[in-house]
Structure 1
Amino acid sequence: MIKNIIFDFGDIFINLDKQGTYKAMASLGVTKISDEMIKVYHNYEKGLLNTEKFIEFFYKKFEIPKNDLINAWNAVLLDFPVTRLDFLKELSSSEKYRLFLLSNTNDLHIKWIKNSLGEVFYNEFKNSFEQFYLSHEINFRKPDSEIYEFVLNENNLIAEETFFVDDLKENTDAANELGIHVWNLIPGKDDVTELFIKNKIN
């Protein structure tokens, strides 16, 4: 019996243009993503690097104005359909499940999201969850097994009683290896509002 549901954020609730940052960086003259750049990005997402140092790295490397870098970084973020918030609020108010958010995200993205959605919308979203875990605040990132173990242990959750929704297969596969039930939601094909239609959750 499922008692707990863990949701990802990007392309589950807020829509993403996954190529948005790459396209924006390419327009600024950066067309190759190096291993060093990926490592810096992962460290930033884990909160091991602050925003100032993150932007400074790219500024020194490419001599691109910092505001342009920030705009390019946030180009991945799109809209948040209100139907998904309504679905979440209804699910939360039913008190049938313990709800958690678990997102690989970072300080710049969250600031953009708060500003874009507005304080009321953002707080209604955040307050629908028992815990709101962002990778840069807990120093873990998906698909590392430690992040799932952290959520399970911190909240005394049993893996077999827990359901996880994410748009990336590598993330759902990692959670499933720990015994967590999963749904690899495909953006454009699936919608989180179809959670109970497309999955057997009792």
Structure 2
Amino acid sequence: MLKNIIFDFGNVIMNYSPDEILNHYELSPADHDLLRKSIFESKEWSEIDAGKISEKEATEIFMDRVPDRLKGKVKQVMATWPENVDFYEPVFNYMEKLRQDGYKIYGLSNTGMQFANFVKNSEMGNYFDGYVFSAQEKLMKPDRRIYEKLIARYMLKPEESLFIDDLKANTDAAKKLGMQAFTFKIDKLGELQDYVASH
């Protein structure tokens, strides 16, 4: 019987789209493309998630990468991008229902600590009973050790836990540890609800 529901963040509880994030800033099309490539498509962006560098260190690298006129924009984007993410209200409504039904809710995400702390310290943090973040652990899904951290920290039984992620490689890794798993897109919310109801 299911007791624990574990949510990834990007494209599960929110729409992770660098273009849509950058649309919140006044940028010409060329500058928009340059910042997307210089920041969100850089190797440093992945290194933030992996806990190899901090957002502060990455910001300095990104600022060195752009013309002087865009340095301030880079700083602004890096300081404020989490608040410009489109969160999925229907998913949070469902999480609220799950909590009312007695399920424990956890977060397991490949993310830097800036975004992790933004979620934790906002009212969204009230939906979760615990978290494991890649930057903090210096481990990235689908490495089995990051799932094992979650299981051990919150004393979860894998067979009583459902892991929801948008990437099949990550849900496959959860299954190998004996967890139930669901590969998610926002248009599959109804399917997810049916799955939970039947398990």
Q: TM-score range by the shorter chain?
A: 0.7 to 0.9
TM-score (norm 2): 0.75
Distance 1:70 1:94, change over 3 A: farther
Contact conserved, 1:55 with 1:66, CA < 8 A, in 2? no
Counterparts of 1:92 and 1:199 in 2: how far apart (Å)?
13
Indicate if the aligned counterparts of 2:132 and 2:146 stay in contact, CA closer than 8 A.
Answer: no
User: How many residues matched?
Assistant: 189
Residue 57 (structure 2) aligns with = 53
Paired residue for 2:14? 14
Q: 1:148 Cα shift?
A: 0.5
Where is the helix percentage greater, Structure 1 or Structure 2?
Answer: 2
Partner of 1:44: 48
Do 1:20 and 1:76's aligned partners in 2 also have CA atoms closer than 8 Å?
A: no
* Post-superposition offset of 1:45: 1.0
Q: Name the SS of the counterpart of 2:63 in structure 1.
A: helix
Q: Which residue of 2 aligns with 1:88?
A: 95
Q: Report Cα offsets for 1:109-138 as digits up to 9, x if no partner.
A: 357768xxxx7xx32x21222103332233
CA shift, 1:197, in A, is: 1.4
Gaps of 5+ in 1: none
Q: Read off the aligned partner of 1:190 and give its amino acid letter.
A: K
Contact 1:19-1:76 within 8 A present in 2 as well: no
- Closer, same or farther: CA 75–82 of 1 in aligned 2, 3 Å: closer
Instruction: Map residues 95-174 of structure 1 onto 2, 5 A cutoff.
Output: 95=102, 97-110=103-116, 122-123=122-123, 125-174=124-173
Higher deviation after alignment, 23-32 or 137-146? 23-32
CA contact (8 A) 1:165 1:182 kept: yes
Q: Could you say what secondary structure the match of 1:176 adopts? A: helix
Normalising to structure 1: TM-score of the pair?
0.74
**Given residue 60 of structure 1, which amino acid in structure 2 is its aligned partner?**
D
Query: Displacement of 1:49 after TM fit?
Result: 1.4
Q: For the residues of structure 1 that align with 2:154 and 2:3, how far apart are their CA atoms? A: 12
Rate the CA distance shift 1:151–1:112 in 2: closer, same or farther, 3 A.
Answer: closer
SS in structure 2 opposite 1:132? strand
- What is the SS of the residue equivalent to 1:29? helix
Structure 2 letter corresponding to 1:15:
N
Q: Following TM superposition, by how much is the alpha carbon of 1:173 offset from its aligned partner in structure 2, in angstroms?
A: 1.5
CA contact (8 A) 2:21 2:84 kept: no
RMSD: 3.3
**Cα distance change on mapping 1:200 and 1:153 into 2, 3 Å:** same
Give 1:48 deviation, angstroms: 2.9
1:196 positional shift: 2.5
Q: Which runs of 5+ in 2 are unaligned?
A: none
Contact 2:132–2:149 (8 Å) recurs in 1: no
User: For residues 112 and 98 of structure 1, what CA distance do their matches in structure 2 show?
Assistant: 21
Q: Which of 177, 193, 197 in structure 2 is aligned with 1:196?
A: 193
The match for 1:68 among 61, 70, 73 is 73
- Tell me, yes or no, if the aligned pair for 1:17 and 1:76 is still in contact at 8 Å: no
Identity in percent = 27
